[in-house]
Amino acid sequence: MNNRGYISAETRLKVEKAIKKLKYQPNEIARSLFSKKTNILGLIVPSIIHPFFCEMIQHLEHEATKHRYKILLCNSNFESNKEQEYLEMLRRHKVDGIIIGSHTPEVLQYITKDCPLVTFDRRLGKNIPYITSDNSHGGQLAAELLIQKGCKNIACLAGNLELDLLSNERFESFINTVHKHNAHCHIIQTDANVFNFEKYVTMIEELFHTDDDVDGIFLSDMMAIDLLSYCFQNKIQIPKKLKVIGYDDIIYAKFTTPPLTTIKQSIEEMSIKAIEILDNMINGKKVQMQNVFPVEMILRGTT
């Protein structure tokens, strides 16, 4: 009896006493079954330990709690079949909405109209809202900085460019800008589409093996951390011999030696928006499909 129309003061007291005595807590499962609302949001990320997603999860959880939602956490590990399994599981569990971090395109068929969904860094369809940073602008800013600092032989270390991720646009834009300034741009990409920190160093070694005159490089913060560690061990002077610019501005970017110059995307704002959109969709409101957030250049010691 939780606050329905008319209760006498007497019975109200009696009920309240009983609640305390029995430590009564309403059963949310039964409630959900009746109300068809679980107040749970599913979150599918390709990695929990990658600091970008880690920060995202932190903010999403915080924001979700504000809106009285709980988070069911799923790690797809970039595997298409795991994404599908999780998507089905979330559907069976009747979550109110789903947030899915960048992922394989095959999932489209597992998405149902009955469950609101927003994506990070991927455009899946006309009526599926996505959230991303202004990768195009970020790539351009990075290229312009390296050029301005006098770099002539530039490289970028990309993830798998075959994947249709919006985050890959930053490299397109970077390469275009470098070319526009008549500089050379060396492109290295991983075949793997997983975050394998061990593998980064191999890529880095490959880079220096192929072309050790590289004097400027653009890559994700996480790869940059690995690169800077490699450079320290191999006595490659930063930024004198090589200038480095990252992307993301993860919390560790400021702790590298030297501290990492990077393109910051506002993970917090993006997370707030994700929950806002999802909440609006759940409540049947109209939402914006394209949500591109501005990036910001953070100048530190590697350039």
Residues 140-169, interacting with its own copies (CB under 8 A): none
- 74 scored as a contact of its own copies (CB under 8 A): yes
Which partner from the list its own copies, DNA, none does 225 bind, CB cut-off 5 to 8 Å by kind? its own copies
Pairing of strands 130-133, 117-120: parallel
Which of 15, 47, 183, 269 touches its own copies (CB under 8 A)? 47
Out of 225, 242, 263, 278, point to the residue binding its own copies (CB under 8 A): 225
Contact residues for DNA (CB under 7 A)?
A: 2, 4-8, 10-11, 25-27, 30-31, 33-36
Name which position in 4, 5, 26, 150 contacts its own copies (CB under 8 A).
Answer: 26
249 touches 52 (CB < 8 A): no
Choices 6-14, 61-69, 146-154, 275-283; region in contact with its own copies by CB under 8 A:
61-69
**Chain residues 193-212 in contact with its own copies, contact rule CB under 8 A:** 197
Binding window for its own copies (CB under 8 A); candidates: 13-21, 48-56, 144-152, 213-221: 48-56
Minimum Å gap between C-beta 262 and its own copies is: 15
Residue pair 235/27 in contact (Cβ under 8 Å)? The answer is: no
In whole angstroms, the minimum distance from the beta carbon of 228 to DNA comes to 53
Q: Binding partner of residue 48 among DNA, its own copies, none, CB under 5 to 8 Å per kind?
A: its own copies
Among DNA, its own copies, none, partner that 11 touches (CB below 5 to 8 angstroms by kind): DNA
Asked whether position 265 contacts its own copies by CB under 8 A, the answer is no
Closest CA to 221 of 194, 195, 247: 247
DSSP string, the chain: --S-S---HHHHHHHHHHHHHTT----HHHHHHHHT---EEEEEES-SSSHHHHHHHHHHHHHHHHTT-EEEEEE-TT-HHHHHHHHHHHHHTT-SEEEE-S--GGGGGG--TTS-EEEES----TTS-EEEE-HHHHHHHHHHHHHHTT--EEEEEES-TTS--GGGHHHHHHHHHHHHTT-EEEEEE-S--S--HHHHHHHHHHHHHH-TT--EEE--HHHHHHHHHHHHHTT--TTTT-EEEEEE--GGGGGSSSPPEEEEE-HHHHHHHHHHHHHHHHTT----SEEEE-EEEE--TT-
Cβ 150 to its own copies shortest distance, Å: 24
Q: Does 111 bind its own copies (CB under 8 A)?
A: no
CB 92 to its own copies: min, Å: 5
Residues that bind its own copies in the complex, under the rule CB under 8 A: 23, 25-30, 32-33, 38, 40, 47-49, 51, 54-55, 57-58, 61-62, 65, 70-75, 88-89, 91-94, 112, 197, 225-226, 228-229, 232, 251-252, 254-259
